[in-house]
Amino acid sequence: MAVRSRKQQKSARKNAGQTPPPGRRTIDLHGLTVDEAKNQLLDAIDGCLRDEIDELRVIHGFGTGKVKNAVHEVLRTLRHVKAIRSELGNAGVTVVYF
């Protein structure tokens, strides 16, 4: 059995469970401009639809709210989006259902 350092153990605990379950993807829009975020969002949605993924977690954070507002604005215009919700207990994440 390999011996792991405390740092490796902490990292393993932190990253445990971060693989999204089948049928679900996550994108992180932190640090992007509104235009960059919109482009990343549309690319992620295209990938979800192509790969028959039915849920997308969009991490936009809190900040000024510009990226979150832009994300919601784009999502409201797309016919493939069945529902959007803020993640329970975390308003910095929007969950999109297809």
CA 21, CA 60: separation in Å to the nearest integer? 20
Query: Cβ atoms within 10 A of the Cβ of 27, count?
Result: 19
Q: Determine which helix (DSSP H) or strand (DSSP E) holds 85, and give its type and residue range.
A: strand 83-87
User: In 3D, which of 53, 54, 71 has the Cα closest to residue 62?
Assistant: 71
- The predicted model scores a pTM of 0.77
pLDDT digits (tens, 9 = 90+) for 40-67: 999 999 999 999 999 999 999 999 999 9
Cα–Cα distance for residue pair 37/31, rounded to 1 Å: 9
Domain that holds residue 85: 20-97
Residue 8 lies in a domain: no
- Total structural domains in the chain? 1
What CATH number has the domain bearing residue 27? 3.30.1370.110
Residues of the chain with pLDDT under 50: 1-5, 7-16
Residue 15 included in any domain? no
